[in-house]
Amino acid sequence: MKVAVIGAGGYAGGELLRLLTQHPEVTECVAVSRSQSGRLLADVHPALAACGDASFLDATPGEAARGRDAVFLALEHGESSRLADEIFAAEPGLVVDLAADFRGHSRFVYGLADVCGASLRGARAIAVPGCFATAAALALYPLARARLAAAPALYAITGSSGAGAGPKPTTHHPARAHNVFAYGVLGHRHDAEITEQWRRWTGRDEPAPRLVAHAGPFVRGIYLTLHARLEQGGDVAASYNAMYAGRPFVRVRATPPELTHAVGTNDALLSATATEDGRELQVSVAIDNLIKGAAGQAVQGMNLALGLEETAGLRLSGMYPC
């Protein structure tokens, strides 16, 4: 199977290359980056030292996409939509976009693999969910049919790698080390995505969960906490075990997960705890933002779309301590 990664110079692109070059069904993987053309992969992504003298291809997106079974777009938001016509004209078997450009677009299937996996089989274009939206959706989905007293509240903290490889004032080490701050307040980029999925699942045009995102003093991972009040008591927490039973990358635990246990894996670690009367619920989710929140979920979507084993190339051991 031949694949290409366009926009392979960033963190998500590097993770895609790491996963795809070790994927048992991938025989050829090319990397395209406008800013890194001609450089060795290992010089840009040190984790790819095993790739030897492989370098970034000097090619247009259309040239890179031609004859490929799958093409991954790891571009900045807005770039995928600009290049889409050129890439689709090359007729690759599958296009997987990691940016926000096509989430909710009729041509693309929403790639929340652990919930919408059946809809991805045979897909020709997949829009990978955002990293915060992935964690939020996994916490919210089992609550879609519950009778809630109010919209759930979502609080999440992310590592600096979520902002991309390009340095910014808010990702500069002195700004992040020993520091925590909220951002995107009452208007985070992923709010609309979370709202769209929640209303689709509930079938109700009601107030949706609001995300409060925080920047944390670490590099990788997202830790999200959901708090919900229910109109009626019940064993809602047990519904999480039932909902995700058999899903290979969602691990429901009895106690809240630790972030470092998820780093380096495609797993979502999740716990759901209710009060004794069952009317108050707290859900915690830990994921690696670059794998489950980006590259890993993209590869999982490819596996499903192309009829491969869903777990192919994704049985990853984590890093602890990290």
Q: So where are the chain's domains?
A: 2-129+292-305, 131-288
Exposure of 95 by Cβ count < 10 A (0-12 exposed, 13-18 middle, 19+ buried)?
Answer: buried
Q: Are strands 268-274 and 250-253 parallel, antiparallel or unpaired?
A: parallel
> What per-residue confidence (pLDDT) applies to 232?
84
Instruction: Give the Cα separation of 162 and 284 in Å (integer).
Output: 19
Q: Which residues contact 15 (CB under 8 A, 6 or more apart)?
A: 290, 291, 294, 295, 296
Instruction: Give the Cα separation of 288 and 281 in Å (integer).
Output: 24
Q: Tell me the two tokens of residue 136.
A: 């939020």
Q: Among 162, 267, 272, which Cα is nearest to 221's?
A: 162
Contact 307, 241 (CB under 8 A): no
Instruction: Give the Cα separation of 242 and 189 in Å (integer).
Output: 31
- Selected from 3.40.190.10, 3.30.360.10, 2.60.40.420, 3.40.50.300, the CATH number assigned to the domain covering 131-288 reads 3.30.360.10
Instruction: Give the Cα separation of 13 and 142 in Å (integer).
Output: 31
> What per-residue confidence (pLDDT) applies to 186?
82
Q: Which residues contact 164 (CB under 8 A, 6 or more apart)?
A: 10, 11, 76, 171
Q: How far is CA 165 from CA 4, 200, 297, in A?
A: 20, 33, 20
> What per-residue confidence (pLDDT) applies to 206?
77
CATH number of 2-129+292-305: 3.40.50.720
If you search the block for the tokens 């020709």, which residue do you land on? Answer: 124
> What per-residue confidence (pLDDT) applies to 293?
97
- Letter string b/e over residues 40-53, b meaning 16 or more CB atoms within 10 A of that residue's CB: bbbebbeebeebee
> What per-residue confidence (pLDDT) applies to 240?
95
> What per-residue confidence (pLDDT) applies to 145?
86
**Is 131 an active-site residue?**
yes
> What per-residue confidence (pLDDT) applies to 104?
87
Residues of the chain with pLDDT under 50: none
Contact 319, 261 (CB under 8 A): no
List 29, 51, 131, 322, catalytic entry = 131
